Chains A and B, each alone.
Chain A
Amino acid sequence: MIGWVLLGLFLLFFPYLHTWPAASSFLDSVDNTTGLGIGGTFGVFQMTTLGVWLVILTGLNILTGYSGQISLGHGAFVAAGAYITAILLDQTATPLVVAILAAAIGTAAIGFAIGIPSLRLTGPYLAIATLAIIVSMPQFLKWDKVSEWTKGSTGIDLPSADVPTFLGLDRFMDDSQWLYYSVMVPAVIMTVLAWNLTRSRIGRAFIALRDSEIGAQQMGVNVSLYKTLAFAISALYAGVGGGLFAYTQDFVSPDSFGIFQSIEFLVVIVIGGLASTLGSVLAAIFFVYQDGVVLRLAELIGFPERLRWAFFGVGLILIMIVAPNGVAGLVQRLKTLRPATVLEMLRQARPSAMISRLRNHPLAERLGLGRRDEHDPGDEES
């Protein structure tokens, strides 16, 4: 409970932290040592984008983590949301909230429409079908027939977000702080809603059909309805995220949404932890701050700048080996560790047992050091 209160207070006062000299110098020193980027106005903006990605990644986690459908083209939904918002703001006098709601509904409808044909596809086939959507997206947005609205490859430039003057709000906050709150409030609400959803009847139906479609059907889950529903909900989140994205960046262009961005979405939710709200949060943190930290590490260890993606790749692979259920899974495992259990584990970890475990490692076997146990745990699966 106290943790939640602290987190709430932190999120509430974060934009003002850097205006307080002591805290500001602390944030700056954190930035200088870790490369995170949380200090100053830039830190506020980073945190704002964190809110945007949190919404998007939470949505993707509902689709992929809970209902088990892979989407490699989630960026296309984000693009749809961003463009609907940007076009409404650019061409009409729609208020922001209405524009984002329209984006949410429009994108959810698109998600539903794409979800129906995708009912027949699973695994890699579904992945490629969704990949097809994101590959086609930039071409569609640049097409002559729609460029009247989308402004082709130049993209849509929106006026930058200013703090409104009513209630004297502008006396309390500057533009970056206003932007922070207008993103963070919906982001927190939508995350909490998602958390509730996944523990409701709908969430349990998603999990059931992910684990066994036939089993779920037996239990009375309407498989096609829930599969398309997962698509629609996740697209709705992407639509809201896209709208917030357009609002915070005050610019959208077809190149804002690449294939590799969509692939990165998938990577970070697997790293963060599938089917876990904490996982989505960690994924968003990873998505936003990974860049600065890896760059800083590169500086510290002294490897060339060009190798930074290699470093990232090695990190990915190591996390997947060490934490197969993502960082959230690791946290979950650590939570169950009580001092007593640790002691018990140490007592049981006899050196001989450890050696035999090492001997059974595939690498040891390959080097000819191994000894086959009479009982291979892998055979029990069938």
Chain B
Amino acid sequence: MEEFAQQVVTGVSIGSIYAIIALAIVLIYRSTSVVNFAQGEMAMFTTFITWSFLLRMDFWPAFLLTIVVAFFIGAALEIVVMRPVERAPHLNSIVVTLGLLAIFNSVALWRYGPLQKPFPDPDNWCIGDSCLEIFQGDAFTAGAVTISRLNVGILFVALMIMVALFLMFNYTKLGLAMRATALNPVASQLVGINVSRMLALGWGLAAAVGAVAGVMTASSLNLSIDMMAGILIFGFAGAVLGGLDSPGGAIIGGLSVGVFQVLAGNYIDSQIDLMAAFAIIFIVLVIRPTGLFGRRLVRRV
């Protein structure tokens, strides 16, 4: 039983990064119904930006600065690259995001090289002398179950992002406008919402959330240009499992993908952990075609 609990905890800590990237994917899908394949590479790229900031400043200022930079990169991409294909067939926007994937990957390779770079763990949060020790220090233990501080920190960050987005979407005028845009762009335009701005904002937000995911990934692995490739696929699986239009679903979906992966590896056959995890996802999708928390698409004829 304790072993099982430990597996679940390990799964949750792996899954927390999937959850953040899934959240970023959901943010873009909700506002533009585009699945952004470049999400992982954007996160990788912005993490390299953090890395170059880190040469000059402390961790948290560098982190915050990256988020701001990522926001503007995301918004700029929507305006320059995505807008021209807005009205084209749906697959075209997917191909454009794949083009972005290639561009980010190759520019990062050119600029930063193929070698792994060491990346520090985030500093603890300190105000004066009192510190919230969730990123560095000894692992937490409860019985035989242990979880590293860093993983607790990552989970905490994932939850914070979700709460912040929830508050923004549900209790601010901006959030209301963004939801309206996602639901019915034409009607939103008629009531005076600047739809184009909302779409750019959606991409900006997603890029910012992706930047957080990138930094967290780099802290738990190392920083390299291909670090997000696998994570993106699991992030996708998480987003789809939770339902592509539900931020809460993205978190739960991402965490469950991590747990599935660890449990399948331990209890079914470690050689086929991916296969087992994806078989579960496939089965869940067949039973619930729009994910666990996704809205059913009702189309008017």
List residues of A whose CB falls within 8 A of some B CB: 64, 70, 117, 120-125, 127-129, 131-133, 135-136, 139-140, 142-144, 214-215, 259, 263, 266-267, 270-271, 274, 304, 306-317, 320-321, 324-325, 362-363, 366, 378-379, 381-382
* Contact indicator A140/B275 (Cβ below 8 Å): yes
Which of B196, B274, B275 makes the CB contact (< 8 A) with A362? B196
- Contact bitstring B258-284, A, C-beta under 8 A = 1, else 0: 000000000001011111001101100
Task: Name which residue of chain A comes closest to B90, CB basis.
Answer: A123
- Contact bitstring B82-112, A, C-beta under 8 A = 1, else 0: 0111011111101110111111011101100
Q: A132-B237, A321-B84 are in contact. Are A366 and B79 (CB under 8 A)?
A: yes
Distance from A310 Cβ to chain B, minimum over Cβ atoms (Å)? 4
Query: Dominant SS at the A interface?
Result: helix
Residues of B within 8 A of A (CB-CB), count: 54
Is B49 on the interface with A (CB-CB < 8 A)? no
**How many angstroms between the C-alpha atoms of A306 and B275 in the bound complex?**
33
| Residues of chain A with a CB closer than 8 A to B91's CB | 64, 70, 266, 270, 274
Task: Name which residue of chain B comes closest to A306, CB basis.
Answer: B110
Distance from B80 Cβ to chain A, minimum over Cβ atoms (Å)? 8
Which of A70, A135, A144 is packed against the most chain B CB atoms within 10 Å? A135
Query: Dominant SS at the B interface?
Result: helix
| Residues of chain A with a CB closer than 8 A to B110's CB | 304, 306-307, 310
| Residues of chain A with a CB closer than 8 A to B103's CB | 309-310, 313-314
Which of A128, A136, A139, A215 makes the CB contact (< 8 A) with B285? A128
| Residues of chain B with a CB closer than 8 A to A315's CB | 99
| Residues of chain B with a CB closer than 8 A to A316's CB | 95-96, 98-99, 102
Which of A64, A267, A304, A313 is packed against the most chain B CB atoms within 10 Å? A313
| Residues of chain A with a CB closer than 8 A to B281's CB | 128-129, 132
B35-83 residues at the A interface, CB under 8 angstroms:
35, 37, 79, 81, 83
Which of B88, B105, B110 is packed against the most chain A CB atoms within 10 Å? B110
List residues of B whose CB falls within 8 A of some A CB: 29, 35, 37, 79, 81, 83-85, 87-92, 94-96, 98-103, 105-107, 109-110, 186, 189, 196, 233, 236-237, 240, 244, 269, 271-275, 278-279, 281-282, 285-286, 289-291, 297, 299, 301
Closest 5 CB pairs of A and B: A313-B102, A309-B106, A316-B99, A132-B278, A313-B103
| Residues of chain A with a CB closer than 8 A to B289's CB | 120-122, 125
Which of A131, A317, A381, A382 makes the CB contact (< 8 A) with B81? A317
* Contact indicator B278/A127 (Cβ below 8 Å): no
| Residues of chain B with a CB closer than 8 A to A362's CB | 79, 83, 196
Q: A124-B35, A317-B96, A320-B95 are in contact. Are A306 and B89 (CB under 8 A)?
A: no
A-B contact sample (8 more), CB < 8 A, given A313-B102, A362-B79: A64-B91, A124-B240, A125-B244, A127-B35, A270-B92, A274-B89, A313-B98, A366-B196
| Residues of chain B with a CB closer than 8 A to A308's CB | 106
Task: Name which residue of chain A comes closest to B89, CB basis.
Answer: A324
Distance from A152 Cβ to chain B, minimum over Cβ atoms (Å)? 10
Which of B96, B109, B244 makes the CB contact (< 8 A) with A320? B96
**How many angstroms between the C-alpha atoms of A135 and B276 in the bound complex?**
11
Which of A120, A317, A379, A382 makes the CB contact (< 8 A) with B99? A317
| Residues of chain B with a CB closer than 8 A to A311's CB | 106
